[in-house]
Amino acid sequence: MRIRVPDYYEQFHCLAGECPHTCCEKWEVVIDEETARLYDAVPGDLGEKLRAAMETDAEGDVCFPLSGGRCPFLDGENLCEIHRQLGPEATSVTCRSHPRFTEDYGPFREVTLCASCPAALTLLLGSDAPLTFRETETAEPEEPGDPWLTGLVPLRDRMLRELTDRARPLQGRLERLLLLALEAQGLLEVDRAAELAALAEVWEAPPVELPEGPGIFPRVLEVLSGLEALDGDWRELLRRAETAEAVPVPERLLERVGTYFLFRYPLKAVNDGDLLGRVQLCVLMVLLARRLAAVCGLSEAVRRLCSEIEHSEENLEALQQAFLEDGGLSPAAFLRTLREA
C-alpha cells in the first residue's frame, strides 16, 4: 500500500509534559473496545482507578470524562499515568494516534499531523518553502478504491500546483482553486467524474464577472460563532476579528496553511460528492487565518481554527451545509472577498 505524508512528518515528536496545549485537556478520551478489555484486566490500584473512570457517553462510546477539564490520568507533570505505568501500547487508539489524521482510500492511505498540536504546528509554520508530500510503499495489501479517485487525485494534484504557483499573488491562486472546483463539481453532479482527470490537465481559468454584493465577512464570523465552541474565548476572538485592523502575514506561510487543508479535504468528496464545499473550506481556513492573525498572531490563529473546526465533525458538517444554503457564503461571495483582498 502507498502511504502519503507531509514532508515534515518524520520530524514530529510529542512535547509531552512540555506541551503548552496538552491534548489531554478539553477533549474526552474515547476508549476503543480492545483497550477497554485491557483495562478490565489491569490489577491493583491503577486497575480500580481505570474501571472507575470509564463511562459510556451519549453517543455510546466508552470514555474517560474530564475532571476539571483534564483527563483523570493526566498527572501533575502533564504526563499520562497509564503511559508511565503500563507503557504507550496500553493507551487508547485515540491517544496513540493523536495528532495524526488518517484517511484510508483503499489503494493508498494519507496521514497528516493536525495543526492543533503545537509540535505539528511548529513544523507546518517553521518553513516558508512549498509544502510537499512524500510517498512510501508498504507490504500491506491494497484494497479497491472508489472509482472517483482516478479523477479526484489528479484534480487535487492540479489544485496543489495552482496553490503553490508563486508567480501569482495568493488571492489569485485561491480564486483559481474555487473556479476549478466549481467546474469539477459540475461534472460530478451530472455523473461525469471520469472526465475530472482530463479537466485537471487542460483547465484554464474562465473570465468571471461577479454580481455586486458583499464578501463572506462578517457573515462567516457570525456563522462560526453559532457553532459548538471548545474554548470559552473562541467567540470573543471571532467578535474581535470583525473589526481588527489587518496585519501583514507572509503569503508563503498562508500558502502552506492552504496546502495542509487542500491535502486533507478534497478527496473526501468520495463520501458525499461535495468537492466544492471542501475546497471552499480550504480557502476559508486561509482567509480566517489571515483575519485572526490580527487578533492573536498567525500561529495561534491556525491552532485555534484546527482545534475548533477540524476536531468537530459537527462543525465541519455545519459549515458544508452553510456553503450550500447561506447566500452570504456562496462561491460568488468568496470570489468577491478574494478580489477585495
* Banded model confidence at residue 76, pLDDT cuts 50, 70, 90: confident
Res 129: pLDDT: 98
pLDDT beyond 80 at 27:
no
168 and 285 housed in the same domain: yes
Average pLDDT, the chain: 94
Question: Coil, strand, or helix at residue 254?
Answer: helix
Instruction: Taking the CA atoms of 289, 295, 296 and 297 in sequence, report the sign of the dihedral they define.
Output: positive
Question: Coil, strand, or helix at residue 108?
Answer: strand
Question: Coil, strand, or helix at residue 145?
Answer: coil
Number of domains in the chain: 2
Among residues 181, 221, 197, the alpha carbon closest in space to that of 326 is found at: 221
Helix pair angle (170-189, 149-163), 10° resolution: 170
In sequence order, what are the residues at sequence separation of 6 or more whose Cβ sits closer than 8 angstroms to the Cβ of residue 49? 72, 73
pLDDT beyond 80 at 217:
yes
Instruction: Taking the CA atoms of 141, 145, 150 and 151 in sequence, report the sign of the dihedral they define.
Output: negative
Res 264: pLDDT: 97
Q: How far apart are CA 283 and CA 180, in angstroms?
A: 13
By the 8 A CB rule, do 154 and 200 touch?
Answer: yes
Res 18: pLDDT: 86
89 and 153 housed in the same domain: no
167 and 306 housed in the same domain: yes
* Banded model confidence at residue 17, pLDDT cuts 50, 70, 90: confident
E strands present in the chain: 2-6, 29-30, 55-56, 62-64, 100-104, 108-113, 133-137
Res 115: pLDDT: 97
According to DSSP, the β-strands at 100-104 and 108-113 are: antiparallel
According to DSSP, the β-strands at 62-64 and 55-56 are: antiparallel
76 and 158 housed in the same domain: no
Res 25: pLDDT: 83
241 and 334 housed in the same domain: yes
- Give domain status of residue 125, yes or no: no
182 and 327 housed in the same domain: yes
Going across the sheet that includes 100-104, the strands are 100-104, 108-113, 2-6, 133-137
176 and 281 housed in the same domain: yes
Q: How far apart are CA 173 and CA 287, in angstroms?
A: 13
Domain range holding 78?
Answer: 24-94
196 and 305 housed in the same domain: yes
89 and 170 housed in the same domain: no
Among residues 304, 11, 310, the alpha carbon closest in space to that of 134 is found at: 11
According to DSSP, the β-strands at 29-30 and 55-56 are: unpaired
| Window from 24-33, 41-50, 330-339 with minimum mean pLDDT | 24-33
Res 192: pLDDT: 96
- Give domain status of residue 137, yes or no: no
- Give domain status of residue 9, yes or no: no
Q: H/E element holding 289? A: helix 275-296
pLDDT beyond 80 at 341:
no
CB atoms within 10 A of CB 20: 8
Tell me: the pLDDT tens digits for 89-111? 889 988 888 899 999 999 999 99
Tell me: the pLDDT tens digits for 107-127? 999 999 999 999 999 999 999
159 and 52 housed in the same domain: no
Tell me: the pLDDT tens digits for 190-216? 999 999 999 999 999 999 999 999 999
310 and 187 housed in the same domain: yes
- String of b and e for 85-124 (b: at least 16 CB within 10 Å)? ebeeebbbebbeebbeeebebeebbbebbbbbbbbbbebb
Q: How far apart are CA 106 and CA 115, in angstroms?
A: 25
- Give domain status of residue 188, yes or no: yes
Q: How far apart are CA 284 and CA 317, in angstroms?
A: 14
- Give domain status of residue 14, yes or no: no
- Give domain status of residue 19, yes or no: no
Res 95: pLDDT: 87
E strands present in 1-132: 2-6, 29-30, 55-56, 62-64, 100-104, 108-113
- Give domain status of residue 119, yes or no: no
Among residues 247, 246, 252, the alpha carbon closest in space to that of 169 is found at: 252
By the 8 A CB rule, do 163 and 258 touch?
Answer: yes
* Banded model confidence at residue 233, pLDDT cuts 50, 70, 90: very high
- Give domain status of residue 122, yes or no: no
Domain end, chosen from 94, 116, 138, is at 94
272 and 336 housed in the same domain: yes
Domain end, chosen from 70, 94, 118, is at 94
Domain end, chosen from 53, 70, 94, is at 94
Mean pLDDT value across residues 33-39: 92
